[in-house]
C-alpha cells in the first residue's frame, strides 16, 4: 500500500504541518498539561499560604483580645491605686482598641464581591499594632509582646511536658509576626 496525495483522509495542510514540525502536537499538549498542572499546584499553594496567614492573624487578634480583657479587669479592680484620670484614659484607649478589633474582625465586608472597596488587611493590621503599642506605653508595659509570651509559654511547656512529647506550643520563629 503506497500512500498518495490523492487519498481523501489527509489534507495537504495537515501533511505539511506534520512534515514541517512533526513534534508540534506534543509541544502543544505539553503546554496544555503544564498550564493545567501549574494552575492546580498554584491554587494548592495559595490555599496553604492563606491558611497559614489566617492562623497568624487569628493568633494576633486573639492575643489582642486577651490583652484587652486582662488589662480592663486589672484597671477596673484597682480601686484608688492609680490616678482616676489615668484609669479613664486607659479604659478609653481599651474601648477604642476593642472597637477597632471588632471592625477588623467583621468578615461581612471582606467578601462583598465589590472590588472597588476591597479592604487592605495589612494596613488595618498595622493600625491595630500601632494602637496596641500606644496602649502598652500608656500602661507601662514597654517590653510586652506576643513573641515574648509565646517564648515563655514554650519554656513553661518544656518544663512541664515529658521529654518525648511534641505538643509544645509553636514558637515565635514558627509563627513570625510582622512587627
Q: Which residues contact 93 (CB under 8 A, 6 or more apart)?
A: 131, 134, 135, 138
> How far, in whole angstroms, is CA 54 from its chain's centroid?
4
Given a contact cutoff of 8 angstroms between Cβ atoms, the answer to whether 20 and 136 are in contact is no
What pLDDT is attached to residue 95? 93
Q: What is the pTM of this model?
A: 0.63
Give pLDDT, residue 121: 83
pLDDT at 177: 43
Residues in the chain predicted with pLDDT less than 70, given as ranges, are 1-18, 20, 79-82, 108-118, 162-179
pLDDT value of residue 156: 86
Pair 24, 17: CB distance under 8 Å: yes
Residue-level length of the chain: 179
Q: What is the pLDDT of residue 34?
A: 94
pLDDT at 137: 87
- What pLDDT score does 16 carry? 65
Distance of CA 55 to the CA centre of its chain: 6
Nearest-angstrom CA–CA distance, 134 and 140: 10
Dihedral of the CA atoms 174, 154, 152, 78 (nearest 10)? 100
Amino acid at each position: 500500500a503506497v500512500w498518495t496525495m490523492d487519498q481523501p483522509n489527509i489534507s495537504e495542510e495537515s501533511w505539511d504541518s506534520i512534515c514541517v514540525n512533526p513534534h508540534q502536537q506534543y509541544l502543544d499538549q505539553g503546554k496544555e498539561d503544564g498550564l493545567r498542572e501549574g494552575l492546580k499546584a498554584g491554587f494548592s499553594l495559595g490555599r496553604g499560604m492563606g491558611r497559614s496567614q489566617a492562623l497568624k492573624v487569628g493568633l494576633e487578634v486573639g492575643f489582642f483580645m486577651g490583652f484587652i480583657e486582662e488589662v480592663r479587669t486589672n484597671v477596673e479592680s484597682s480601686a484608688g491605686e492609680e490616678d482616676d484620670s489615668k484609669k479613664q484614659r486607659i479604659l478609653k484607649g481599651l474601648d477604642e482598641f476593642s472597637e477597632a478589633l471588632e471592625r477588623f474582625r467583621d468578615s461581612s465586608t471582606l467578601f462583598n464581591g465589590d472590588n472597588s472597596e476591597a479592604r487592605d488587611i495589612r494596613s488595618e493590621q498595622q493600625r491595630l499594632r500601632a494602637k496596641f503599642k500606644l496602649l502598652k506605653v500608656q500602661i507601662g508595659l514597654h517590653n510586652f509582646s506576643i513573641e515574648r509570651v509565646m517564648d515563655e509559654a514554650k519554656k513553661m511547656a518544656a518544663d512541664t511536658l515529658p521529654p518525648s512529647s511534641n505538643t509544645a506550643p509553636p514558637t515565635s520563629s514558627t509563627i513570625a509576626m510582622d512587627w
